[in-house]
Amino acid sequence: MDVTIFGTGYVGLVTGTCLAEVGNRVLCIDIDPDKIELLNNGGVPIYEPGLEEMIHANRAAGRLRFSTDAKAGVEHGLFQFIAVGTPPDEDGSADLQYVLAVARTIAEHMNEYRILVDKSTVPVGTADRVAATVREVLERRGQKIEFDVVSNPEFLKEGAAIEDFMRPDRIIVGTDNPRTAELLRALYAPFNRNHQRFFVMDVRSAELTKYAANAMLATKISFMNELSNIAEAVGADIEKVRIGIGSDPRIGYQFIYPGCGYGGSCFPKDVRALERTANALGYTAELLQAVEAVNLRQKRVLFQKIRDYFGGDLAGRTIALWGLAFKPNTDDMREASSRVLMECLWEAGARVQAYDPVAIKEAQRIYGERADLQFARDALSVLDRADALVLVTEWSEFRSPDFTAIRARLRHPVIFDGRNILDGDQARAAGLTYISIGRTP
Q: How far is the CB of 262 from ligand UGA (least distance, A)?
A: 3
- Out of 71, 135, 141, 157, the residue judged to bind ligand UGA by CB under 6 A: 157
Annotated binding residue 255: yes
Annotated binding residue 30: yes
178 contacts: CB under 8 Å, gap ≥ 6? none
Pick from 307, 287, 286, 221: which is nearest to 259 by CA? 221
Q: What is the DSSP letter of 432?
A: -
Stretch that binds ligand UGA, among 197-205, 262-270, 283-291, 338-346 (CB under 6 A): 262-270
Annotated binding residue 240: no
Give the Cβ contact number of residue 382 at 10 Å. 22
167 lies in the binding site for ligand UGA (CB under 6 A): no
Annotated binding residue 144: no
Annotated binding residue 394: no
Q: Which of residues 221-240 bind ligand UGA (CB under 6 A)?
A: 221
- Out of 12, 259, 401, 413, the residue judged to bind ligand UGA by CB under 6 A: 259
Give strand pairing partners of 200.
173
Annotated binding residue 21: no
DSSP string, 60-78: HTT-EEEES-HHHHHHH-S
47 lies in the binding site for ligand UGA (CB under 6 A): no
Name which of 157 and 240 has its Cβ closer to ligand UGA.
Answer: 157
165 lies in the binding site for ligand UGA (CB under 6 A): no
Annotated binding residue 299: no
Number of residues that bind ligand UGA (CB under 6 A): 19
Indicate if 266 belongs to the active site: yes
- Out of 16, 264, 401, 438, the residue judged to bind ligand UGA by CB under 6 A: 264
- Out of 47, 81, 147, 262, the residue judged to bind ligand UGA by CB under 6 A: 262
d(CA 228, CA 236) in angstroms, rounded, equals 9
d(CA 130, CA 101) in angstroms, rounded, equals 9
Question: Is 387 exposed, middle or buried, given 0-12, 13-18 or 19+ CB atoms closer than 10 A?
Answer: buried
56-63: long-range contacts, CB 8 A cutoff, minimum separation 24: 57/21, 58/17, 58/20, 58/21, 58/26, 61/20, 63/20, 63/23, 63/24, 63/25, 63/26
211 lies in the binding site for ligand UGA (CB under 6 A): no
96 lies in the binding site for ligand UGA (CB under 6 A): no
For residue 352, give the H/E element and its range. Answer: strand 351-355
d(CA 215, CA 266) in angstroms, rounded, equals 10
The SS3 assignment for 408 reads helix
- Out of 74, 256, 345, 359, the residue judged to bind ligand UGA by CB under 6 A: 256
Name which of 160 and 360 has its Cβ closer to ligand UGA.
Answer: 160
- Out of 13, 29, 156, 321, the residue judged to bind ligand UGA by CB under 6 A: 156
Taking CA 387 as the corner, what is the angle to CA 239 and CA 342, rounded to the nearest 5 degrees? 70
Active site residues: 266
List the binding residues for substrate: 155-158, 210, 255-259, 263, 327
Residues that bind ligand UGA (CB under 6 A): 121, 155-158, 214, 217, 221, 255-257, 259, 262-264, 266-267, 326-327
